[in-house]
Amino acid sequence: MILLISDLHLEEERPDITRAFLDFLSGRARSAQALYILGDFFEAWIGDDAMTPYQRSICEALRELSDSGTHVFLMHGNRDFLLGQAFCKAAGCTLLKDPSVVDFYGEPVLLMHGDSLCTRDEAYMRLRRYLRNPVTLWILRHLPLRTRHTLARKLRSESRAQTRMKANDIVDVTPEEVPRIMEHFGVKTLIHGHTHRPAIHKLQIGEHAAKRIVLGDWDKQGWALQVDEQGMQLAAFDFVNPQLALPNATQ
């Protein structure tokens, strides 16, 4: 069994989400052969050399899971794209490129964070190209800590992050972009997060039935996609009683 989650936006100011995630790691995730975290795992990340005690505790919890035998894969989101190899090594997880094609029970599946699909937000796409440029990344990683803190605050206030992002604040994916990229990678399944609009969209790509699965963000409840030989199941769960089945917005 494989589990996929995204957009936890972990931060010290949200002990409820943190608790739910730690429970998830020591509970349900233990029986998974692999856990994929598709970006915006942390609300902010200014560099592996600036890990706070809080972030270190999350790193150690991931390490316990990976030591127990579950493979942990991590993809960057737009909030935590500075997360690097030092963190991954300490946490025992593998950094995945965005996009990546993986094999789930014999089927090629395309995994993305999802922000690169929101091409209508032209200002953001320009900023993304600039921030993800290897030269910019190198400079960012070598700036003094104080400067990085200031920059991170500036970026966050510019993305209206004073309050938690709601789906309405985030530009949705460009519909034409989806079949284009799926055809490019030759897949019938795309899984991504970012938009905070959990759903399973049935698609038709050429002759073939296809689907786009959008993971949910963790805010009032958690979301996980479970993949096994039987298929894929996207479901929300209660933070305190994860066994509790919640009315599923996607069905």
Tokens of 48: 């592996």
| CA gap 223, 191 in Å, rounded | 13
Least CB distance to Mn ion at residue 225 (A): 16
Residue 78 binds Mn ion (CB under 5 A): yes
Least CB distance to Mn ion at residue 42 (A): 11
Strand, helix or coil for residue 136:
helix
Closest alpha carbon to 236 in 223, 225, 247: 223
194 to 223, contacts with Mn ion by CB under 5 A? Answer: 194
Choices 126-134, 138-146, 186-194, 208-216 (CB under 5 A): range interacting with Mn ion: 186-194
Nearer to Mn ion, 40 or 48 (CB): 40
Nearer to Mn ion, 92 or 193 (CB): 193
Least CB distance to Mn ion at residue 114 (A): 7
How many residues sit close enough to Mn ion to count as binding (CB under 5 A)?
4
Task: Give 53: exposed, middle or buried? Use CB within 10 Å, 0-12, 13-18, 19+.
Answer: exposed
Tokens of 111: 């995994």
Least CB distance to Mn ion at residue 164 (A): 12
Choices 45-53, 67-75, 77-85, 117-125 (CB under 5 A): range interacting with Mn ion: 77-85
Closest alpha carbon to 234 in 38, 30, 33: 38
Radius of gyration of the chain (CA): 17
Instruction: Tell me which residues touch Mn ion (CB under 5 A).
Output: 40, 77-78, 194
